[in-house]
Structure 1
């Protein structure tokens, strides 16, 4: 686990790096069994420049293969603050580092670190801890479904996508937003320098674009630019409603791109 100190109200990261160890819990945990009407939004903060991160990337990829049609939604944000160690993560974005800082404020943490996982905006732990992840998902699935998120995504001919959303339920819109993440399902990168230099890393559920909109009404739409090399089969959109006062995620859903031969 790699930690870095932050000022809770600052928009940037400061402080010295504190190195500590994290170990993967290899004990087999019971398969995911949803017992309620809940959901689990799993947000991983990771980096190709962090030697502790590959086990967490492998863990979320493993869980992603297991979930099937269960309401479990995985987002992997590649932060940018480890880029200074000699390798620029090609998926990194300063906006994702700022989002992690928001969680530090919501969860009253004195530091941010990688790999970190946050589930439903309420529970956080070291991203390579399998038991903690499975328990958090189980707890999320046992919850309620007070807010339903319905998404529809359409690819346009000008290399953009239009995302329409409709929210059902009591959202208390005054403090809530809807976030829409464009997700690349898989990628493999050969890291040439830095802490993971010489390794080939596999990634899953990579957030490539994140738009957050005020929830002023229960329905709306937005347009995203699609990255070069986009393939409808390898991408999806995950949307979620979040309370900006405490970080709690109230509902989530996903939508797949329609595969059309005329465009693909």
Structure 2
């Protein structure tokens, strides 16, 4: 009799645990009100960066159908430590310094993650990063951004439409390479093959004057549309706060 009574209770408990696990691994889009723009500052020359890069890869996969956008900026100040990061760019280092001023947090470091231009985290601390994402998604966006893009050869035409706040702000468009691997031969990550995700290959800023408009981007050479995407976001010029973000799918179009 005792076994007959206990089995249903054990079964129900197991099912509840399984359900909680599934919910934990698959974000519930119905609970989301806003968005999360994750800006990672990383480098192939930094030994503490690979865990952060890998975490971004997992988050990208888990949140691919949600309002979560990842941009990985490879900074150049590690290039003097024995290995030059092929994706590094001094412009991304400058952007990180700009955030240091906005957030009042210096010196800069890697791996740093800035969420919606308002909060920063050590990007390899998974629990804290995930909580930051959930917090960002729970807050309504100040602006809604809609992007439609068409590619013609090495140019990309972006039509944008904004609903909500965009005063004293800029529209930033990032050309993003979804994945890459690097065989690092020197520096702190010597003899390692590193995996990268959502690598920013080009970042372009345009001042916003109207809620609708067109922006042209010159794309990197030998771009493969299935391996790249365009992510756009609206950023306050005075505070660095990001008010809205969106993604435009690259579509090939012949020039007439």
Q: Is the shorter-chain TM-score for this pair beyond 0.5, marking a shared fold?
A: yes
Residue in structure 1 matching 2:155, options 149, 153, 160: 160
Give the number of aligned pairs. 232
Contact 1:148 1:251 in 2 (8 A): yes
CA separation in 2, counterparts of 1:126 and 1:41? 15
Q: When you count strand as a share of all residues, which structure comes out higher? A: 1
Q: When you count helix as a share of all residues, which structure comes out higher? A: 2
Does residue 1:72 correspond to 2:65, yes or no?
A: no
CA separation in 1, counterparts of 2:194 and 2:23? 25
Does residue 1:116 correspond to 2:109, yes or no?
A: no
CA separation in 2, counterparts of 1:179 and 1:30? 32
TM-score, length-scaled by structure 2: 0.86
TM-score, length-scaled by structure 1: 0.84
- 2:109 is paired with a residue of what secondary structure? strand
Superposition pairs of residues 174-185 of structure 1, within 5 angstroms: 175-185=168-178
In structure 2, the partner of 1:45 is 41
- 2:24 is paired with a residue of what secondary structure? coil
CA separation in 2, counterparts of 1:225 and 1:110? 33
Larger Rg: 2
Residue in structure 1 matching 2:233, options 240, 252, 259: 240
Unaligned runs of 5+ in 2: 1-21
Superposition pairs of residues 1-264 of structure 1, within 5 angstroms: 30-31=24-25, 32-34=27-29, 35-157=31-153, 159-171=154-166, 173=167, 175-258=168-251
Unaligned runs of 5+ in 1: 1-27
CA separation in 2, counterparts of 1:236 and 1:68? 13
Deviation, structure 1 residue 229: 2.9
CA separation in 2, counterparts of 1:235 and 1:139? 28
